[in-house]
Chain A
Amino acid sequence: MFTTALAAWYRSVRLNYALTLIAGVTHLAASLYCLIARINPFPAGWWLAVDPLGAFFLIILSHTFILVVFYSPGFLQRMQGAKYERSRRLYYPALNFYLLANTLVLVVQQYALLWVVMELTTFSLVPLMYFYRTKESLEAVWKYLFLVSLGLVFLFVGILFLSLSARGVVDYTGFVVGSMTDAAPRLNPLWLKAAFIFALVGLSAKIGFAPMHPGDVDATSNAPAPVGALMAGSLRSTAMLALLRFYQVVALTQVRPFAQRLLIFAGIFSFIVAAIYMWRSRNYKRMLAYSSVEHLGIIAIGIGVGGVALLGALLHLLFNSFGKTALFFMAGNLHRAYNSRDIKSITGLTLRLPWTAFVWALAFFYILGAPPFGIFFSEIFILKGMVHSGKWWLLALFLALLMLIFIGMSRSVLRMLQTPDTTPQSAPGTATGFRERFNLSHALGIYAIVLSIPIMLFRPASLFDALHSIMATLGVTS
């Protein structure tokens, strides 16, 4: 809050960068401390608390945020001229506000307050999404604002129904996660079912579940690369946490199988929609946005299957944020060099942008679940969960859809990597003697991708203990 206010006050982009960097580093350090030391910095009884679930999602948020902050000076340096002056000035204050709003969602424990701060996350994104101030970005902002706000109306209905389920059990002052989970077995199952349905539908627009995904896809694919990375890497996870706050209560009641079926259905439907669009997409940023729809679908399926698949789903949330950050950073480099988002316009990539092509290819293998990267392991956990629970039909469908997406995405990515150069020599990036040098964006991309390997190799106890503790709060003992 402090850095948001300061960044809004000062007009110097350089000073605001320093403030944002301080905010990001402090946030990451505090999040790691809360996760490792299992500490809740807020007094007991407050509507704010850091529980293991919140701490895990705080790590995802702050890690994505700090990578975006490192990437931002290079991005803003390219955005010169009067056209971008206002956007440049608003960029860092909006980034700080984004961090504040998302942090609030992750630490708020009171359900009605959760709805208020979810709205804040939408507002915080508007100046960032409208950075280019083009007709397309405006259309994307309008659709996102409208669809997500309509979705949040459904979320509010879900919250009302949740309060109805607790009528006579807890009063409105006890309408917090802890009290609700304590009272879970005594909640009215009918209203609890209705609450979960409305929460799922309401948050779908923000998470990116089909059929509520179009606003999110348009916004992610038309936003600047660092904003796309934030949305795909952290905002969807934040919205997923809001859904998990409902699931936390539902998982301890007889309504749990119903909620699990609903999550599997939402996941499969998103998976199918992503598979179809992956074959049709002509725009590489849109392809990445649909990849997010696919991966959030996988995560929903993992949560729905339960058991070891839940561990896979949690890891998938983390690893998906790594991969999406790298992919969006490279998409930013591509857009800068080719001034187009059209897959067909990307020619001679390996010659013109060798480092970007390398990281792009690496990130592509990562996101498709190739070993030894993290997503491979998280998907294995999810598949293992399906085998353990005897959901063979789901396993077969999951593998078939994964294969379809693999082929669909490979067609586009390999075309981008292999098409020989056909652009005129005067095009940006093709000046005589031009050869792309290794820069910070490549280092950040490689770091984000490679980070998942030691995590799965060494399995740090602090992280995995926290994950098992989260699984216990979601009704899974391991």
Chain B
Amino acid sequence: MINALTILFCLTLIYLAVSTRLSAYVLILVLQGMLVAGVHTLAFFNDFAWSHVVVAAGVLLVRTYLIPVYITKIIRDLDMRHGDSTRRYHPGFLIQMASIVVGAFVLSNYLSGLTPVPVNVIPLGAAIAGMGAGGLLIMRRSLLLAHVVGFLIIENGLFLLAIGVEAEMSWMIELAGFLDLFVLVFLMGIAMNHLKTHFPEGESDDLTGLRE
């Protein structure tokens, strides 16, 4: 079941490659939030503890509600509903994304053979794919909000990575991590609000004032 959810996670990355609308990006974040919460719940299903329930609830609250609602608010406030209109669907981006997903599973398989420590190949592959896909989105899309979404996808990949390598952490630290993530997105949102007054297009190409 964990493998099925992580493969679904990879499918959301493919959807990311064929979409340029910001509303679709938010939907992807919600879907990924639900999937990583599901993976977390299943990973610790046989080892019930209230701390695992608290962490899963934290994932659901922060990743599927607080952050998507906040990003939707930014989109509405900054009137960015049309999304990355200058960059339409491009098959090259889809090919790159697919290559990252395939490459991530090959790398995961290779890594699992390198170490005596047991590693879950499929969640680890999905985690690497998520981190690579977030990075690709940041590099290929110029809209600043797309960069924030890319960053959040990297964070989702990171969460899967922790599950993939079966790293157990204190629930307090995991919750503090979510709080950090939320504050970070909140700060980025505030910065974006201010950026809009100076850079109406909200694109990274405009941020060249500090170059020498």
Contacts and interface: CB of A to CB of B under 8 A. Distances in A.
B90 to A, nearest CB: 24
Contacts of A173: 170
Given A145-B188, A150-B154, A160-B161, A138 B167 contact: no
Contacts of A122: 184
Interface stretch (B26-34, B61-69, B109-117): B109-117
Contact of A145 (B117, B154, B187): B187
Interface stretch (A17-25, A74-82, A281-289, A366-374): A281-289
Contact of A138 (B117, B147, B187, B194): B194
B71 to A, nearest CB: 15
A153 interface: yes
A110 B169 CA distance: 11
A282 B165 CA distance: 48
Interface of B is mostly: helix
B158 interface: yes
Nearest to B179: A116
A153 B155 contact: yes
B212 A157 contact: no
B196 to A, nearest CB: 10
A146 B151 contact: yes
Contact of B117 (A136, A140, A150, A188): A188
Contacts of A188: 115-117
Contact of A113 (B173, B199, B209): B173
Contact of A142 (B144, B177, B180, B183): B144
B102 interface: no
B198 A286 contact: no
B191 interface: yes
Contacts of B161: 157, 160
A113 B176 contact: yes
B78 interface: no
Contacts of B136: none
Contacts of B195: 138-139, 142
B61 to A, nearest CB: 18
Given A138-B198, A188-B115, A188-B117, A115 B177 contact: yes
Nearest to B115: A190
A167 B154 CA distance: 25
Given A157-B158, A160-B162, A143 B212 contact: no
Given A112-B170, A116-B173, A146-B188, A160 B165 contact: yes
Size bin of chain B's contact surface = 35 or more
A156 B160 CA distance: 12
A164 B167 contact: yes
B79 interface: no
Contacts of B158: 153, 156-157
Contacts of B170: 112, 172-173
A139 B144 contact: no
Interface in A164-209: 164, 167-168, 171-173, 188, 190-191
Contacts of A135: 198-199, 209
A285 to B, nearest CB: 11
Contacts of A139: 195, 198, 207, 209-210
Contact of A116 (B115, B117, B180): B180
Interface in B197-211: 198-199, 207, 209-210
A123 interface: yes
Interface string A122-153: 11001000000101101111110110011001
Contacts of A113: 173, 176
Contact of B187 (A126, A191, A222, A277): A126
A138 B115 contact: no
Contacts, number: 101
Given A139-B207, A157-B161, A123 B184 contact: yes
A145 B184 contact: yes
Size bin of chain A's contact surface = 35 or more
Nearest to A142: B191
Nearest to A281: B212
Contact of A112 (B114, B165, B173, B198): B173
B184 A119 contact: yes
Interface string B162-182: 100101111001001100100
Contact of B165 (A119, A146, A164, A286): A164
Given A142-B191, A145-B188, A145-B191, A112 B151 contact: no
Nearest to B169: A112
A149 B117 contact: no
Nearest to A173: B170
A123 B176 CA distance: 14
Nearest to B210: A218
A280 interface: yes
Contacts of B162: 160
Contacts of A283: 212
Given A135-B198, A138-B191, A286 B144 contact: no
Given A146-B147, A283-B212, A167 B187 contact: no
A120 interface: yes
A365 B207 CA distance: 35
A190 B116 CA distance: 10
Interface in B106-145: 114-117, 131, 144
Contacts of B165: 160-161, 163-164
A139 B191 CA distance: 9
Given A138-B191, A145-B188, A153-B151, 8 more contacts: A112-B170, A116-B177, A142-B188, A143-B210, A146-B151, A153-B158, A173-B170, A190-B114
22 contacts: A113-B173, A113-B176, A116-B177, A120-B180, A123-B183, A126-B187, A136-B210, A138-B191, A138-B194, A139-B195, A141-B191, A142-B188, A142-B207, A145-B184, A146-B151, A160-B161, A164-B117, A167-B117, A172-B169, A190-B115, A282-B212, A283-B212
